[in-house]
Amino acid sequence: MRRFPLVLVGMGVIAVAQGPSSPPSPISPDLIKFITPADNPGSAAKARLGDDLFDDKRLSADNTVACNTCHEPRGGFTARLETAKGIRDQSGKRNSPTIINAAFMQSQFWDGRAATLEDQAKLPILNPIEMGMKSPEEVVAKLRAIPEYVTKFNDVFGRPPNYDDMARAIAAFERTVVSTTAPIDRFLRGETNALTDAQRRGWTVFNGKGRCNSCHAFNPTFPFFTDNKFHNIGVAAHKQDFTSLAIRAERAGSSQEEIDRLALESDLSELGRFLVTKNRSDIGAFKTPGLREIAITSPYMHDGSEATLWDVMDHYNKGGEPNPFLDGGIQRLGLNEDEINDLVELMAAFTSDRFAQLGGMEMQRQRTFMRGPRQTRDNDAALGRKGHFGDAVPTHDKKDPAAIGGRPIAQSQ
């Protein structure tokens, strides 16, 4: 492995390049076995082939774009751009998520339009604004003309390159790109001092007043801070009119490739999960992203519209952008400045040791940046002082919910 410590999976071995005294990985070997498909077991040679393919610009129409152009390993496997740029500098509509821990997601893409990593890998190569190849046959012909690939595919799969095996190798590589231990893991194992005071207070807000854990769910067997579900948290709505978009989408195509193009190239992108399911309750809903390594993957959200973690906090604090499809879990939070800062500091503790240095630099950059104008901030909405779509009736007092709209429970009995 050239630049990334390899975790060998699917072979019952977890060989993370950590020192002998390093704590165990936060991710259990059983979980890795569980998520590896039976028809694509991992091996070191397969993952290496997948890594070569992931880095190879020859998989694009004009030999300028590889998977790693938009998922740059040293930058946390993201592009660090609001929305990704493919061949001929064409910009798509969505932010490139990290592929770290993507293996553990129940579906791929912000709208879940691909079921598996194998499925996912076949799409960007053929998307006209990403890698722009015309057909799987064209890709296979290109691979078969490169002698190293013929040899490597033969070694790994026992046959010449084909499109499915290419996707299998890339997926096998991606299953090795997983988080190592972060301060939050040490804290949860009982090392209280692994988190600062601010981070510990942030953890309380995360699981309490902030209600973050209702979607960014964490548990020791699935430590990724995601419920793997789709929610409209009011990021998409502010730009367009959902109803007219939804009517257009109902007439649009529904094959996986057509949805891929609509999601990346058209205004219908903002409909999110609705493009895939056509259920009204999925309008503007996007997949809950995991939060491990979140400090190093700015800008945030499906459209890259939020530059820093402070902007994300401002967004949640005011209860998102009001819209008729807003998730019930999103309400104004009324967090004060300290609680916002503590939550952001907490998220810095989700950065694994491998990316600690980059994480530190990025937090420093975000701290400087957030002292400028806070674009998503709306204190009046956050504190319930403003007629907000969700505030048609008084928002209940969190300390004594029964005091508004009825008699306290004790008196009514």
Binding site for ligand HEC (CB under 6 A): 54, 65, 67, 69-71, 84-86, 92, 94, 96-97, 99, 102, 105, 108-111, 117, 120-121, 124-125, 130-131, 170, 174, 210-212, 214-216, 231, 233, 235-236, 263-264, 286, 288-289, 291, 294, 297, 300-302, 309, 312, 316, 327, 329-330, 343
Q: How far, in Å, CA of 391 to CA of 23, rounded?
A: 47
Distance in Å, CB of 174 to ligand HEC, minimum: 6
Least separation, in Å, of the C-beta of 408 and ligand HEC? 27
What is the enclosing helix (H) or strand (E) of 364? helix 356-370
- Shortest distance, position 309 Cβ to ligand HEC, whole Å: 6
Triad 399, 405, 410: Cα angle to 5°: 65
CA-CA distance, 88 to 242, in Å (whole number)? 30
As a whole number of angstroms, the distance between CA 354 and CA 179 comes to 8
Q: Are 228 and 91 in contact (CB under 8 A)?
A: no
Measured at the CA of 188, the angle between CA 185 and CA 189, to 5 degrees, comes to 85
The answer to whether 295 touches 362, Cβ cutoff 8 Å, is yes
- Give the residue with the Cβ less far from ligand HEC, 18 or 116: 116
Question: Closest distance between ligand HEC and the C-beta of residue 132, in Å?
Answer: 9
Q: What tokens does 95 get?
A: 């932010």
* Closest distance of CB 317 from ligand HEC, Å: 8
Distance in Å, CB of 412 to ligand HEC, minimum: 30
Which CB atom, from 297 or from 323, has the smaller least distance to ligand HEC?
A: 297
Continuous segment of H or E residues that includes residue 155? helix 147-157
The answer for residues whose C-beta is within 8 angstroms of residue 141's C-beta and 6 or more apart is none
| For ligand HEC, the closer CB: 263 or 268 | 263
Start-end of H helices in 1-135: 29-35, 44-54, 67-70, 117-126
Alpha carbon distances (Å) from 257 to 105, 110, 233, 260: 21, 15, 26, 5
Q: Which is nearer to ligand HEC, 194 or 335 (CB)?
A: 335
Backbone angles phi, psi at 157, to 5 degrees: -110, -10
Cβ closer to ligand HEC: 28 or 266?
266
Residue 98 Cβ, how far from ligand HEC at the closest point, in Å? 7
**Minimum CB separation from ligand HEC for residue 294, in Å?**
5
212 vs 268 by CB, closer to ligand HEC: 212
| 22 vs 364, beta carbon nearer ligand HEC | 364
**Helix (H, G, I), strand (E, B), or coil: what is residue 59?**
helix
CA separation for the pair 83, 300 (Å, rounded): 10
The sign of the CA dihedral 293, 296, 302, 306 is: positive
Output Rg (C-alpha) for the chain, integer angstroms.
Answer: 22
Identity of the residue, 16 or 347, whose beta carbon is nearer to ligand HEC in the bound complex: 347
Query: Closer to ligand HEC at the Cβ: 18 or 211?
Result: 211
What is d(CA 160, CA 143) in angstroms, rounded to the nearest whole number?
A: 9
Question: Minimum CB separation from ligand HEC for residue 407, in Å?
Answer: 30
